[in-house]
Amino acid sequence: MTSSNELRQKKIIEKTEAFVKAELSNDPTGHDWWHIHRVVQMSKRLADAEGADIFVCVLAALLHDVADEKLNESKESGLRKVGDWLETQLVNKEECRHVLEIISTMSYNAGTNPPMRTLEGKVVQDADRLDAIGAIAIARTFLYAGWIGHPIYDPDIVPRDSMTPKEYRHDKSTAINHFHEKLLKLKDRINTITAKKIAEERHLYMEQYVDRFYLEWEGQV
């Protein structure tokens, strides 16, 4: 028999899915509804394997890019939007606080955010980062680079070893540089044992792609 709490959670998830689809369905940056769908599915898989609270993980995964500062006037305005939404649902104060904490600290942000405090935060962060490693990540990288006006590659624009969050967001770079500046670093920033195993294979695929790119660029293959 389904408990009243399970029914409450099911209703919240269904309404949140509809809300997020309305917010992100037309996103052109690679942070669209289907990115959310993949992060949710991976969050469920990781939460089940790691023993995390699946409801909190799914709710945070659904809402994490509604608050993304790339898609809002500021990080604060994005978090307010999520907080306002949660207040309209039957989300208790602890669940609301937990979801907002996860969302506010899960982004890469040039590697400056503190480590996740809770298992649920680690799960959702891993799920989001796994979507930035591997075959789909390659496609998303070029989509986002085109959207912000960065070239595919320019040998005269070298990858940056370190940068501030502002530089990470706004300085000129290239799609290929993004692999060196962020994506190829993510494998070593994964939290959970389950996600680490998935990341290893995806990372290798991505490395092989970048190596092949340089060979084709120089006409060697």
- Residues 6 or more apart whose Cβ sits within 8 Å of residue 131: 35, 38, 39, 42, 137, 140
Q: What is the pTM of this model?
A: 0.91
pLDDT of residue 77: 77
Report the C-alpha gap between 195 and 118 in whole angstroms: 15
Start-end of H helices in 32-161: 33-50, 54-63, 75-87, 93-105, 119-130, 135-148
Amino acid, single-letter form, for residue 115: P
- Residue 78 and residue 69 in contact, taking contact as beta carbons nearer than 8 Å: yes
Per-residue pLDDT of the chain (221 residues; tens, 9 = 90+): 679 999 999 999 999 999 999 999 888 888 899 999 999 999 999 999 999 999 999 999 999 998 776 666 667 777 899 999 999 998 999 999 999 999 998 887 655 678 899 999 999 999 999 999 999 999 999 999 999 999 999 999 999 887 777 776 667 899 999 999 999 999 999 999 999 999 999 999 999 999 999 999 999 99
Residue whose C-alpha is closest to residue 89's, from 16, 166, 187: 16
pLDDT of residue 14: 96
Pull the structure tokens for residue 78: 């994005």
Angle between helices 93-105 and 119-130 (to 10 degrees): 40
Angle between helices 135-148 and 193-217 (to 10 degrees): 60
Residue whose C-alpha is closest to residue 124's, from 104, 110, 138, 143: 104
pLDDT of residue 69: 65
DSSP annotation of 73 reads: S
- The fold adopted by the segment(s) 4-217 is Hypothetical protein af1432 (1.10.3210)
